Structure 1
Amino acid sequence: MTQDLALRILELARDAGKTLTTAESCTGGMVSAAITDIAGSSEIFARGHITYSNTAKQEMLGVTAASLDAHGAVSEEVAKEMAEGARAAAGADIAVAITGIAGPGGSEFKPEGRVCFGLATKDGTQYETVEFGARGRAEVRMAATRHALDLIVRALS
């Protein structure tokens, strides 16, 4: 399924003359890998940012310490800043960001399977939280990857 989405992204981005980038935390590069698995993706894919630590989010993407302190890494505020920072750093038309709790674990306030997404374009930034549930680490990461790819397709459609 990710291959179909990535092929669609390549087709749509080529047709629109758009470039894209990623900022990934809990998916650890899975979105970037899905896109770059497709031959020809270098035409539309600027770069991927894997920012697993809070320090990386701050240094590479400009996420503020204030947002991290107030909301935590798994938050819509941080996903928004990640997407905006990635788009600016890469000079891309579209950036998708993912930060979440893949598991195992979590807490009463931030359960396993909670993933926050950001999508930045020239028109602004959208963000959302999806509760994938405690499916296990691999399943949460794959579901988050598919969702991020779908967000890019919708932004290009």
Structure 2
Amino acid sequence: MKEETIENITKLLIEKKMNLAFAESATAGALCARFSLMDDAGSFLKGGIACYDACLKQNLLDVDEALLKKYTPESMEVTKAITLGLGKLIPADIHIGVTGLTCPGGSETAEKPVGTMFIYAVHGGEHIFSERMNFSGSQEEIVSGTIARCAELLEDYLLKLN
């Protein structure tokens, strides 16, 4: 990941007086932790929730059990739901949710293999970006790739704001 991307996001958030929060399943807080390492993180980072287990998605982030059963905890539909649920718990301008499969044992199939990751983001409750990605490699490489792609999407969005 390009260090400049995260630094640029930090500057843009501070300049625009905006803040963000994360709901992370497969990345288990790595995205939030990455942003917490930036200078002045307290001025733009509200925090995050690591919701690795489906029961946290359901009980804490108010994801409907039927949605979890129909689409699986690792899906775009559930990623959207955890992002929206996060907005009820942590007030922030931008909410970002991440789910996916970094290792065997989840809901992987031939159509959704290990390395499939989902990102969903809202600004003021309105959808701003989402993406389904496929990575290969170790768990660490999948998480790193997801963080890098999320940063790219966020930077692109912030650069387009007036």
- What is the TM-score with the length of structure 1 in the denominator? 0.91
Segments of 5+ residues of structure 1 without an aligned counterpart are: none
1:18 corresponds to 2:38: no
Distance across 2 between alignment mates of 1:56 and 1:14? 31
Give the superposition deviation at 1:12: 0.5
- State the partner residue of 1:43: 43
- State the partner residue of 2:142: 140
Q: Share of identical aligned residues, percent?
A: 24
Distance across 2 between alignment mates of 1:45 and 1:35? 7
Give the superposition deviation at 1:107: 2.6
1:77 corresponds to 2:72: no
Distance across 1 between alignment mates of 2:33 and 2:89? 19
Task: Give deviations 1:55-100, integer Å, cap 9, x for gaps.
Answer: 1112222211121011001111011111112233211110111100
Decide whether the 8 Å contact of 1:21 with 1:90 is kept in 2.
yes
Deviates more, 1:30-39 or 1:57-66: 57-66
**What amino acid is aligned across from residue 5 of structure 1 in structure 2?**
T
Distance across 2 between alignment mates of 1:143 and 1:96? 16
SS of residue paired to 1:68: helix
Alignment equivalent of 1:131, drawn from 122, 131, 134: 134
**What amino acid is aligned across from residue 73 of structure 1 in structure 2?**
P
- State the partner residue of 1:8: 8
Task: Give deviations 1:98-119, integer Å, cap 9, x for gaps.
Answer: 1000124633232011001111
**What amino acid is aligned across from residue 103 of structure 1 in structure 2?**
C
Give the superposition deviation at 1:34: 0.9
Distance across 1 between alignment mates of 2:4 and 2:60? 30
Decide whether the 8 Å contact of 2:84 with 2:125 is kept in 1.
no
Check 1:30–1:2 CA distance in 2 against 1; reply closer, same or farther (3 A cut).
farther
Deviates more, 1:75-84 or 1:122-131: 122-131
> For this pair of structures, how many residues does the alignment match?
156
Task: Give deviations 1:101-142, integer Å, cap 9, x for gaps.
Answer: 01246332320110011111126124321112x322111111
Deviates more, 1:68-77 or 1:116-125: 116-125
Give the superposition deviation at 1:2: 5.2
**What amino acid is aligned across from residue 6 of structure 1 in structure 2?**
I
CA RMSD after TM alignment: 1.6
1:57 corresponds to 2:57: yes
Decide whether the 8 Å contact of 1:31 with 1:145 is kept in 2.
yes
Give the superposition deviation at 1:32: 0.6
**What amino acid is aligned across from residue 153 of structure 1 in structure 2?**
E
- What is the TM-score with the length of structure 2 in the denominator? 0.88
Distance across 2 between alignment mates of 1:81 and 1:141? 20
